[in-house]
C-alpha cells in the first residue's frame, strides 16, 4: 500500500461516514424511518442495496474457497438459491409488502394467535436478530481480518477494532437510509473492483492471460460449470442435492425460502408492491447473472499462482498461520495489484464490509427494538426512545460480532453451519402462507429439531454420517418432525387465519394467480441461469454453448415478460 492507495481507501471511508452523518437527522425521526426509510424507497435503490449486502468481504473469499476445493461446479451450493429468490420475487414479495409490518417476525402474531405466537416472536427475535446475526457478522469480519492481515500486515485485534469502530459509527448515525445510499455507491465500486482484480489476475506472468489460464491442467480440472456426470460422488452433492433439495429445504440468511431477514426488510420498505417485486427481481439478476465470473476467474488464477496451502504460507509469512486457508487466496491475489488499483480494490472491499455489517446491524437492531423492547418491555416507548435503543443495540451487536470473528478460522465454517442448522425448515416457510393448518407449534418444533440435529451431526457424533447424506438426513428428520406436529396439533386460530387471508388476497384472489407466479419464477430462473452460463461460455471460448445458453436466456426471458404483462392486465 502506497500513499495514493491509502488516500483512496481513506477517501471512501470518509465518504461513508459523511453519508451516515448526512442521513442521521432523517433516520432519527422514528423507528419507521430508522429501520424502513419511512416505507418510501424505490425498487432500484433497494435492489442495489440487496446486491451490495450480499457482496461482503467474505463473499469472494467463500467463492475462492469453493472453486479451489470443489471447482467451479461447487458454486451450485449457492447458485441453487436463485430458485428460492425468484419464487420470493413473484410469490412472496407482494405478500410481505401487503402485510405492512415493521419486521418479518412480526408476521408470527398475524399468522398465529395467543401466548405461543408471542413467545415465538420473542424467541425468533433473539435467535435470528442476535445469535444468527452475530454469527454471520463474525464470518464477514473474519474475512476482513484475513484481508487486513495480508494487505496491511496488522493483527486480527487491530482489524476488528478499526473496522468495527468505523462501521458502528456509520450504522448508529445513518440508519436504514444511510445503509441504502452507501450500498448504491458500493454497488458500482464493487463491480469495478471485482473486474479489475480479475483483469490483473489474468495479466500475471504465471497465468499467461485467459488462454494460458484455461490451458493450465490444474485449472482445466476445476473449470467445468457442471460436475462430472460419470462420478456420483461429484454430481450428487454438487448438483443434484442443491437443485432438488437444498433450495427449498434450507434456511440461509439472504436466501430464506419465502423471503425473510434483511431481504424482507427491503420489501417492507418499498413504496408499493410493484417496487418490492422489482427490488427482488433486480437483486437476483445482478447477484447471479452479473457478478460471479470475476470472482471465479480470480479463484482459478489463484490455483496457478498459489497452488496449495503451503504456497500461501510461503507467500504470506507475516500472516497469522491459523487463519491461512484456501479462502485467503483471494486476498493473496490482491497483493499482485499495482499501486492505485490496489487502493481502489481495497476501498471497494472496505465499503463492502461496512455495507454488509451495517445492514445486519440495522436489521438485528430492528428485531431488538420492535419485537423485543417495544413489544414486551415498553409498549409506550416514544419514537426518540426507540431510536436510542436501536443505536445502543447496534453497538452491542458489533461488539459480539468482533468477539466471534476472533474465534473463527474459515469462512466456509459459517456457511456450512448455517445450512446445517437451517436444514429442513425451508418448506415450512414456503407453506405457512397457504397451508393454514400449520400452527405455531409447527414452527417451534422445526426450530428445535433442526438445531438438535445440527448439534448432533456437527458436535456430538460428526463421524456418524458424512458428505451429502448428512444434509439429506437432517432435512428428512426435521421435515418429517414438523409435518407430524402439524397434523397432530390443532390448527391456528381461525380468526387469525381469516384476517390474514383478507389482508393477503385482497381483491385479486391469491389462489387464482399462484400457478402463474410459479411459472414466472421458473422462466425467470432459466433466463438468469442462461445469462450466467452464456457469459461463462464466452470466457471459455465455447461458441456453441454460448449460443445455446443465450437462446435459453432470450426465449425464457421474453416468455416471462409476456406472462408478466398478462398477469398485470388480468389480475391487477
Give 457-493 pLDDT, tens digit per residue: 766 666 767 677 888 888 999 999 999 999 998 776 5
CB atoms within 10 A of CB 136: 28
Q: Are residues 377 and 467 in the same domain?
A: no
CATH at 295? 1.20.1730.10
Of 352, 382, 411, at which residue does a domain stop? 411
Q: Which residue has the cell 490451458?
A: 215
Q: Are residues 303 and 439 in the same domain?
A: no
Structural domain containing residue 150: 3-411
Query: How many domains is the chain partitioned into structurally?
Result: 3
Within a domain: residue 500?
A: no
Please, which residues bridge with residue 41 across strands? Answer: 270
Angle at 167 between CA 147 and CA 363, to 5 degrees: 110
Q: Are residues 462 and 386 in the same domain?
A: no
Residue 438 three-state SS: coil
pLDDT tens sequence across 525-551: 999 999 999 999 999 989 999 999 999
Report the distance separating Cα 490 and Cα 116, nearest Å: 13
What are 398's three cell numbers? Answer: 458489533
Q: Which pLDDT score is estimated for 25? A: 65
What are 74's three cell numbers? Answer: 461447487
Within a domain: residue 171?
A: yes
Q: Are residues 260 and 396 in the same domain?
A: yes
Within a domain: residue 73?
A: yes
Of 378, 411, 444, at which residue does a domain stop? 411
Within a domain: residue 497?
A: no
Within a domain: residue 496?
A: no
Q: Which residue has the cell 500500500?
A: 1
Q: Are residues 403 and 455 in the same domain?
A: no
Of 491, 516, 542, at which residue does a domain stop? 491
Q: Are residues 481 and 542 in the same domain?
A: no
Report the distance separating Cα 239 and Cα 129, nearest Å: 31
Spans of the chain, pLDDT less than 50: 507
Radius of gyration in angstroms for the set of CA atoms belonging to the chain, rounded to a whole number = 23
Q: Are residues 429 and 363 in the same domain?
A: no
Q: Are residues 556 and 511 in the same domain?
A: yes
Report the distance separating Cα 19 and Cα 271, nearest Å: 22
Got the DSSP string for 457-523? IIII-TTSS-THHHHHHHHHHHHHHHHHHHHHSPPPPHHHHHHHHHHHHTTT-HHHHHHHHHHHHHH
Within a domain: residue 306?
A: yes
Q: Which pLDDT score is estimated for 509? A: 53
Q: Which pLDDT score is estimated for 419? A: 67
pLDDT tens sequence across 43-65: 998 988 888 877 776 778 889 99
Report the distance separating Cα 416 and Cα 56, nearest Å: 17
Within a domain: residue 268?
A: yes
Q: Are residues 361 and 433 in the same domain?
A: no
By the 8 A CB rule, do 135 and 414 touch? yes
What are 448's three cell numbers? Answer: 428445535
Q: Are residues 517 and 457 in the same domain?
A: no
What are 352's three cell numbers? Answer: 463492502
Within a domain: residue 418?
A: no
Give Dmax (Cα) for the chain. Answer: 70
Q: Are residues 461 and 348 in the same domain?
A: no
Q: Which residue has the cell 460428526?
A: 462
Q: Are residues 20 and 79 in the same domain?
A: yes
Q: Which pLDDT score is estimated for 507? A: 45
Q: How far is CA 12 from the centre of its chain?
A: 23
Amino acid at each position: 500500500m502506497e500513499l495514493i492507495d491509502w488516500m483512496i481507501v481513506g477517501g471512501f471511508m470518509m465518504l461513508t461516514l459523511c453519508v451516515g452523518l448526512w442521513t442521521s437527522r432523517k433516520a432519527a425521526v422514528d423507528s419507521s424511518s430508522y429501520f424502513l426509510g419511512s416505507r418510501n424507497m424505490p425498487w432500484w435503490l433497494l435492489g442495489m442495496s440487496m446486491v451490495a449486502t450480499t457482496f461482503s468481504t467474505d463473499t469472494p473469499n467463500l467463492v475462492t474457497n469453493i472453486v479451489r476445493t470443489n471447482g467451479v461446479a461447487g458454486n451450485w451450493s449457492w447458485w441453487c438459491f436463485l430458485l428460492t429468490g425468484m419464487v420470493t420475487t413473484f410469490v412472496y414479495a407482494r405478500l410481505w409488502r401487503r402485510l405492512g409490518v415493521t419486521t418479518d417476525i412480526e408476521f408470527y402474531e398475524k399468522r398465529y394467535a395467543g401466548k405461543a405466537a408471542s413467545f415465538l416472536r420473542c424467541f425468533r427475535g433473539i435467535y435470528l436478530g442476535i445469535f444468527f446475526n452475530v454469527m454471520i457478522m463474525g464470518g464477514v469480519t473474519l474475512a476482513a481480518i484475513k484481508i487486513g492481515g495480508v494487505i496491511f500486515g496488522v493483527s486480527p485485534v487491530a482489524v476488528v477494532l478499526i473496522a468495527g469502530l468505523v462501521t458502528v459509527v456509520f450504522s448508529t448515525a445513518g440508519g436504514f437510509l444511510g445503509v441504502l445510499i452507501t450500498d448504491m455507491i458500493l454497488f458500482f465500486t464493487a463491480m469495478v473492483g471485482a473486474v479489475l482484480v480479475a483483469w490483473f489476475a489474468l495479466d500475471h506472468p504465471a497465468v499467461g492471460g485467459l488462454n494460458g489460464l484455461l490451458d493450465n491442467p490444474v485449472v482445466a480440472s476445476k473449470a467445468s460449470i457442471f460436475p462430472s456426470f460419470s462420478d456420483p460422488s461429484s454430481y450428487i452433492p454438487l448438483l443434484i442435492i442443491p437443485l432438488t433439495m437444498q433450495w427449498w429445504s434450507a434456511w440461509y440468511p439472504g436466501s430464506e425460502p419465502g423471503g425473510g431477514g434483511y431481504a424482507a426488510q427491503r420489501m417492507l420498505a418499498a413504496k408499493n408492491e410493484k417496487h418490492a417485486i422489482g427490488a427482488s427481481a433486480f437483486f437476483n439478476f445482478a447477484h447471479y447473472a452479473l457478478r460471479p465470473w470475476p470472482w471465479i476467474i480470480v479463484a482459478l488464477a489463484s490455483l496457478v499462482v498459489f497452488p496449495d496451502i503451503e504456497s500461501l504460507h510461503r507467500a504470506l509469512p507475516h500472516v497469522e498461520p491459523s487463519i491461512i486457508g484456501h479462502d485467503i487466496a483471494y486476498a493473496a491475489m490482491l497483493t499482485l495489484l499495482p499501486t492505485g488499483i490496489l487502493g481502489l480494490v481495497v476501498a471497494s472491499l472496505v465499503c463492502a464490509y461496512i455495507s454488509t455489517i451495517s445492514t445486519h446491524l440495522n436489521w438485528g437492531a430492528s428485531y431488538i427494538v420492535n419485537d423485543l423492547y417495544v413489544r414486551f418491555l415498553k409498549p409506550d416507548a416514544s419514537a426518540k426512545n426507540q431510536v436510542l435503543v436501536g443505536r445502543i443495540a447496534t453497538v452491542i451487536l458489533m461488539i459480539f460480532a468482533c468477539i466471534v470473528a476472533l474465534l473463527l478460522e474459515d469462512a466456509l465454517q459459517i456457511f456450512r453451519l448455517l445450512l446445517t442448522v437451517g436444514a429442513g425448515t425451508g418448506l415450512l416457510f414456503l407453506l405457512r402462507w397457504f397451508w393454514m393448518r400449520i400452527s405455531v407449534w409447527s414452527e417451534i418444533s422445526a426450530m428445535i429439531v433442526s438445531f438438535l440435529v445440527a448439534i448432533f451431526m456437527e458436535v456430538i457424533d460428526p463421524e456418524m454420517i458424512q458428505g451429502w447424506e448428512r444434509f439429506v438426513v437432517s432435512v428428512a428428520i426435521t421435515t418429517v418432525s414438523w409435518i407430524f406436529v402439524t397434523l397432530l396439533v390443532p390448527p391456528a386460530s381461525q380468526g387469525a387465519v381469516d384476517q390474514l387471508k383478507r389482508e393477503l388476497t385482497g381483491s385479486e384472489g391469491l389462489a387464482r394467480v399462484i400457478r402463474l407466479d410459479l411459472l414466472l419464477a421458473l422462466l425467470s430462473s432459466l433466463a438468469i441461469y442462461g445469462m450466467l452460463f452464456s457469459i461463462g461460455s464466452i470466457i471459455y471460448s465455447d461458441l456453441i454453448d454460448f449460443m445455446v445458453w443465450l437462446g435459453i436466456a432470450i426465449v425464457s426471458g421474453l416468455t416471462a415478460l409476456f406472462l408478466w404483462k398478462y398477469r398485470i392486465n388480468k389480475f391487477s
